[in-house]
Amino acid sequence: MSQTRSVYQFNSAIVREPSISVVNGLRADDRGGPTYEGVKGEHDAYVASLRHAGVEVSVLPSLEAFPDSLFVEDPALVFTGGAILLRPGAPSRVAETAELAPILRDMFDTVLELPTPGQADGGDIMYTPNSVLIGLSDRTDKAGAEALVSCIEQLGGKAQIAETPKGVLHFKTASSLLDDETVISTAALAKASVFKEFRQFIVPEGEEPAANVLRVNDIVMVSAGYPRTIEMLEKANYKVVPLKTAEIERIDAGLSCMSLRWYRDCR
């Protein structure tokens, strides 16, 4: 899994079309359900941005039995050297892994399965230049995190376990990598000293969901509804691409969870 390129350099991605049943997606707080048309429009713009950034995107068909299945990052991890099938923490999402498994086995020579016991969501995993950070949360427990560390080591990588602030769904709900030396996070996660080796940007108070950005090659995708965060990143000379996320945020989602991204080695 070792590589000389940055961990945000991608040329391949997998996404899944939203289902009509997405209106029944999981949510911690009911702020009103999304519309299928609204989610579909946000998803289409997201895929277009990935392609514009130089990524070849494989689009999987929707799964009506799984309302949250467009959040394809949660059931698996992918790297240049292989993939890991995870065990999502929400019972209604566990079977999504079996839907992804044959697709990943067609694309990767090595596909590992998270050993039992334990659960882990991809939304709790952040790639950094030195290691993979695994955040403990309601969706990723200690047993799952420890099992995932072992799987990542089998692929030649390093991983470490971190704490996620209480009340935060996923580790990456509250933090994201901006470049090899910089992260953006909420104030609560910054206080946990997880990123003491990184330069940090703290999202403005009231814009905490904006901590979930997505760096892809030379662009940073940011939720369009958070103007102060966008201004902060533009002033720091990041190439910001604002994307609407109002509908997917109604079901506790953000930008990173809608794709599996990796660098396909074509040599």
Q: Which residues contact 244 (CB under 8 A, 6 or more apart)?
A: 41, 42, 45, 223, 224, 225
The amino acid that residue 127 corresponds to is Y
Tell whether 114 is in a known binding site. no
Active site residue 43: no
Q: DSSP character for 236? A: T
Tell whether 26 is in a known binding site. yes
**Pick the catalytic residue: 52, 151, 170, 266?**
170
Please tell me the distance from the alpha carbon of residue 5 to that of residue 191, in angstroms, as a whole number: 30
Tell whether 74 is in a known binding site. yes
Tell whether 251 is in a known binding site. yes
Active site residue 266: no
Task: Dump the DSSP string for 157-206.
Answer: --EEEEE--TT-S-GGGSEEEEETTEEEE-HHHHTTTTTTTSEEEEPPTT
**Token pair 């009103």 is at which residue?**
32
**Pick the catalytic residue: 43, 52, 151, 257?**
257
Tell whether 29 is in a known binding site. no
Tell whether 73 is in a known binding site. yes
Q: Active-site positions?
A: 170, 257
Which positions make up the binding site?
A: 26, 68, 73-74, 93, 139, 251
Which positions make up the binding site for substrate?
A: 26, 68, 73-74, 93, 139, 251
